[in-house]
Amino acid sequence: MRNLSSDRGFTLVELLVAAVLLATGLTAAAAAISAVTRAQASALRRTTAARLAEVKLTEIQAMGITSGASEGTFAELDTGQLPAFGIGGSSSAESEAGQATTVSDLGDYYYQWEITSGDFQGLARVQVSVWYRDNEQNPFTLVWYSPSP
């Protein structure tokens, strides 16, 4: 007859320890994937805000505006401007992320611009700030100096 104590195998305690370690590892991996997904979405919103700030600055320059201030959303943005900046299209980074910004999403982006006398003589300071939804405390801000009229 065989001696049961000499049989090789795993004890119940070893199996429970292995299951706890596996569950902990899978939970940590899921948390890491979630954090990466949130960071990727935040980076995409920040990049879109930077592109939209550039669009708004170009619009201000093209219209010849030399003073004033305004604010609003990009819901009324002329979609003809979008391909040059990769907004609404699918750049490789956005399509890989599977989260390309569409024109309908642009209504969630807000802007505020102001033109003041610059810090330097003969230059006007143009400041354009863009933020996503309720994140007005952390906007993307673009500052440009143009010759004063």
pLDDT at 64 over 60: yes
CATH number at residue 112: 3.30.1300.30
Residue 2 maps to a domain: no
Query: Would you state the pLDDT for residue 77?
Result: 73
Measure CA 32 to chain center: 18
Residue 3 maps to a domain: no
pLDDT in tens, 85-105: 555 444 434 444 444 455 557
Q: Which of 123, 118, 127 is nearest to 70 (CA)?
A: 127
Residue 5 maps to a domain: no
Residue 67 maps to a domain: yes
Complete edge-to-edge strand list for the sheet that includes strand 68-73: 68-73, 109-117, 123-132, 140-147
| Domain hosting residue 37, numbered range | 10-147
Mean pLDDT of 68-84: 75
Instruction: Provide the number of structural domains found in the chain.
Output: 1
Residue 64 maps to a domain: yes
Query: Would you state the pLDDT for residue 115?
Result: 94
Residue 134 maps to a domain: yes
Residue 103 maps to a domain: yes
